[in-house]
Amino acid sequence: MDFATSSPGYAAPAPSGPTTSVKIVVAGGFGVGKTTFVGAVSEINPLTTEAVMTAASDGIDDLTKVPDKTTTTVAMDFGRVSLDRDLILYLFGTPGQNRFWFMWDDLTRGAIGAVVLVDTRRLADCFAAIDYFEDAGLPYIIAVNCFDGLLSHEMDDVREALSVPTDVPIVTCDARSRESTKLTLIRLVEHSMSRFAAMR
Amino acid sequence: MTGGRTRARYQLALEALVSTTPQGRNPGYGLMPEHQRICELCVEIKSLAEIAALMRMPLGVARVMVGDMAESGLIAVQQPGAAEGKPDLALLERVLLGLRNL
Ligand SMILES: Nc1nc2c(ncn2[C@@H]2O[C@H](COP(=O)(O)OP(=O)(O)O)[C@@H](O)[C@H]2O)c(=O)[nH]1
Ligand SMILES: [Mg+2]
């Protein structure tokens, strides 16, 4: 893929003003296509960053109260998209294990919103992510990853099964396609804009 | 090596941007190897998450190190467009335009 020519400003000289970053979260169950989605649109091969939590994962964060420290490592994939010479979008995939909520706060703070990837054969895998974003008030859209190009549910059935509000967009996507992931991200940003505009 | 560990001055965002300052480009002698590598890495702007991944450091370690290096003037840190809450509409417009132009 030739990112140098497709990303404006990627090979351009450093801009004079400060560069701004924004981020979008890509959530969903294990194997639903999060890393594939990030990689399809990222200008770098997805990188992995690890957070180490030195405590039990059940909300104990004061180490002095934990006699034998347990350490847990949580890995997150992410990619980067230069949107302009002074604007960089980062895409973060959520960790596979939903129970590591401490990482989700870091992931979602200041985010534009989230794409919740859904595999219709395993709808329940995304319930926890949807609950989290609803509670956090973070705008999100549902993107049904069409494995094999086949939908086993109608869209209205998906909405009902996930019981998401009617104003939450549900789209289909192919996580392997740059064009499809791009359109999905555009839909999310439009949704976030209408949410933020309505809040003012 | 991770002085200032307990200080919560820098709760840097994952996507906070880091760039090497003129001082960081010519730091003289005695720089810690990790600091030197981060200075080299961030001649081209990098996010905190990228630094952690490329340095193969846990995020928390990178966070503290970047905070220390900013304090000693080796690097400059740019918190993201939406550090305190939500990105504003003008910024979202730019994101939308950028995505459409991809
Ligand atoms: N057929 C098909 N396979 C996909 C699609 N998206 C992802 N995959 C495959 O599904 C597997 C899991 O994807 P991955 O991105 O690693 O999922 P993650 O665990 O959510 O990060 C990989 O083998 C992908 O190649 C899709 O749209 N269609
Ligand atoms: Mg993955």
Nearest C-alpha in A relative to B60:
A51
Q: Is residue A100 part of a domain?
A: yes
Name which residue leads in pLDDT, A142 or A198.
A142
Domain that holds residue A158: 18-199
- Please indicate, yes or no, if residue A1 is contained in any of the structural domains: no
Are A21 and B53 in contact (CB < 8 Å)? Answer: no
Say if A169 falls within a structural domain: yes
What does A79-137 look like in DSSP terms, one character per residue? EEEEEETTEEEEEEEPPS-TT-HHHHHHHHTT-SEEEEEE-GGGGGGGHHHHHHHHHHT
Q: In angstroms, how far is the first alpha carbon of chain A from the final one? A: 41
pTM over 0.90: no
Note the ipTM here. 0.88
CB atoms within 10 A of CB A13: 7
The domain total for chain A is 1
Residue partners of A22: CB distance under 8 A and separation at least 6: A87, A88, A89, A90, A112, B15, B80, B81, B82, B87, B91, B95
B-chain CB neighbours of A18 within 8 Å are 78
Q: What are phi and psi of A144, to 5 degrees?
A: -80, 115
**Residue A148, domain member (yes or no):** yes
- Looking at the domain assignment, is residue A12 inside a domain? no
pLDDT score of A12 more than 70: no
A139: left (phi over 0), alpha (psi -120 to 50) or beta: beta
Query: Has residue A11 been placed in a domain?
Result: no
pLDDT score at A9: 41
Which ligand is in closest contact with the Cα of A118?
1
In a domain, A183, yes or no: yes
Is residue A36 in a domain? yes
Q: What CATH number corresponds to the domain at position A65?
A: 3.40.50.300
- Residuewise pLDDT in 10s, chain B (102 residues): 344 444 444 489 999 999 999 999 988 888 999 999 999 999 999 999 999 999 999 999 999 999 999 999 999 999 887 655 667 899 999 999 999 999
Count Cβ atoms below 10 Å from residue A72 Cβ, excluding itself. Answer: 15
Chain B residues within an 8 Å CB radius of A88: 15, 17, 45, 47
Could you tell me how many CB contacts below 8 A there are between chain A and chain B? 131
Residue A150 CB–ligand 1 contact under 6 Å: no
Tokens of B97: 């335009």
A85/A123 Cα distance (integer angstroms): 39
Q: Smallest CA–CA separation between B28 and chain A, in Å?
A: 24
**List of residues 6+ apart from A10 with CB closer than 8 A:** A3, A4, A43, A82
